[in-house]
C-alpha cells in the first residue's frame, strides 16, 4: 500500500484497475484477484488526500460480463468506493460467456449491443465510456451505431508496435488515446527512486531515429502474441485470438499486411 499511496500523492493522476487478463482455466481466482485490486486501489485513493476531482479513475468491463455490463460497473463502484468512475471501458470487442467459451464475431452479445448498454450508464456515477483494443475496423462499425462516441481508445503503443495507422485515425476522429505497452520505469517503493525515474532525459536525433525504426528491424509485434492462453484453433478459421481471427480483429488483412 505504501507504494500505491506514494504514487497517488505524487505525479500519477490516472488510476486504472483493470490490468489483469481473465484466465479461463481459473475463473474464480481471476475474480478474486480483480476484487483485491479494486479494494486496494480504492483504499489508496481515499487515503491519498488528493481531491477526487484531480484524479481520473478508469475501470473495465471484462469479456465474461459483456452480457451484463451493469453488474460489472456496480461492482467497481462499490469496491472502489470513490464516488464515481471517470471512464468505463470495454476491455476487448470480443466476448466470452461465464462458461468460458469465446463467442464468434456474429454471436450475441456483439460489441455494439454491449456498448449500447454502456451508453445508458453515462451520468453522475459513470462520467464517460470508452473502448480498449479496438482497431479502425471495429471502430468503423461502432461509430455507425453508437450515439455516444468513445472518449478514449486504450491501445498498445510501443517501439515494436507503434500502430502508425490506428493512432492518427483515432486522433482525427476526436477519440483520445491512452497507450499501454512496455513501461521502462521500474517499480519502487522509494520516493527518491520515483522522483529519479520521472526525470526526463534528452535523446539525440540519431537515437530518436533508431527508436522509431525498431519495429522495422525486427518486425511489428503485439504483446498479446506472447500470451498462450489467448490463442487457439477453430475449425474452418485456423488460429484465433479469443475466438476471432486477426482479420476479424482488424489487425491484418488476408495477406498478412498490418492494418493498424
Per-residue pLDDT tens over the stretch 9-64: 554 555 565 544 444 444 455 566 667 777 888 888 888 888 989 889 999 998 99
For residue 200, report the phi and psi dihedrals to the nearest 5 degrees. Answer: -70, 150
Q: How far apart, in whole angstroms, are the C-alpha atoms of residue 154 and residue 18? A: 12
pLDDT for 241 equals 92
Mean pLDDT of the 181-207 span: 80
Copy the grid coordinates of residue 228.
Answer: 498462450
Q: In whole angstroms, what is the distance from residue 151 CA to residue 56 CA?
A: 13
Average pLDDT over residues 205-224: 87
CA atoms of 208 and 206, how far apart (whole Å): 5
Reference 70, options 41, 211, 78; nearest CA is 78
pLDDT band (50, 70, 90) for residue 200 = confident
Question: In angstroms, rounded to a whole number, what is the distance separating the alpha carbons of residues 157 and 176?
Answer: 13
The answer to whether the beta carbons of residues 239 and 245 sit under 8 Å apart is: yes
Which of 157-161, 187-191, 218-222, 236-240 is the least confident region?
187-191
User: What's the confidence (pLDDT) of residue 47?
Assistant: 87
User: How would residue 186 be classed by pLDDT, with cut points 50, 70 and 90?
Assistant: low
Q: How confident is the model at residue 175 (pLDDT cuts 50, 70, 90)?
A: very high
Domains and CATH numbers, the chain: 2-183 (3.20.20.100)
Summarised one tens digit per residue, pLDDT across range 21-33 is 444 444 455 566 6
Cell 498478412 found at: 256
Residue 233 has pLDDT above 50, yes or no: yes
Rounded distance, CA 145 to CA 130, Å?
14
The radius of gyration computed from the CA coordinates of the chain, to the nearest angstrom, equals: 19
| pLDDT tens figures, 90-133 | 999 999 987 878 999 999 999 999 999 999 999 999 999 999 99
Q: What is the pTM of this model?
A: 0.84
Amino acid at each position: 500500500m505504501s507504494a500505491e499511496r506514494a504514487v497517488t500523492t505524487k505525479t500519477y493522476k490516472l488510476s486504472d484497475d483493470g490490468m489483469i487478463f481473465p484466465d479461463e482455466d481459473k475463473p474464480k481466482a481471476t475474480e478474486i484477484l480483480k476484487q483485491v485490486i479494486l479494494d486496494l486501489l480504492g483504499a489508496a485513493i481515499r487515503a491519498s488526500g488528493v481531491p477526487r476531482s484531480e484524479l481520473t479513475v478508469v475501470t473495465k468491463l471484462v469479456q465474461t460480463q459483456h452480457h451484463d455490463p451493469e453488474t460489472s460497473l456496480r461492482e467497481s463502484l462499490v469496491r472502489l468506493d470513490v464516488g464515481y468512475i471517470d471512464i468505463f471501458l470495454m476491455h476487448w470487442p470480443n466476448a466470452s460467456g461465464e462458461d468460458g467459451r469465446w463467442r464468434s464475431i456474429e454471436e450475441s452479445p456483439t460489441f455494439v449491443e454491449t456498448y449500447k448498454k454502456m451508453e445508458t450508464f453515462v451520468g453522475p456515477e459513470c462520467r464517460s465510456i470508452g473502448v480498449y483494443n479496438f482497431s479502425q475496423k471495429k471502430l468503423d462499425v461502432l461509430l455507425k451505431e453508437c450515439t455516444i462516441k468513445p472518449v478514449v481508445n486504450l491501445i498498445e503503443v510501443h517501439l515494436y508496435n507503434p500502430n502508425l495507422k490506428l493512432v492518427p485515425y483515432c486522433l482525427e476522429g476526436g477519440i483520445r488515446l491512452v497507450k499501454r505497452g512496455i513501461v521502462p520505469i521500474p517499480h519502487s517503493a522509494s520516493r527518491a527512486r520515483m522522483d529519479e525515474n520521472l526525470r526526463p532525459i534528452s535523446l539525440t536525433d540519431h537515437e530518436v531515429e533508431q527508436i522509431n525504426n525498431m519495429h522495422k528491424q525486427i518486425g511489428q509485434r503485439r504483446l498479446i502474441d506472447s500470451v498462450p492462453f489467448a490463442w487457439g484453433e477453430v475449425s474452418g478459421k485456423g488460429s484465433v485470438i479469443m475466438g476471432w481471427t486477426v482479420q476479424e480483429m482488424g489487425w491484418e488483412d488476408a495477406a498478412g499486411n498490418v492494418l493498424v
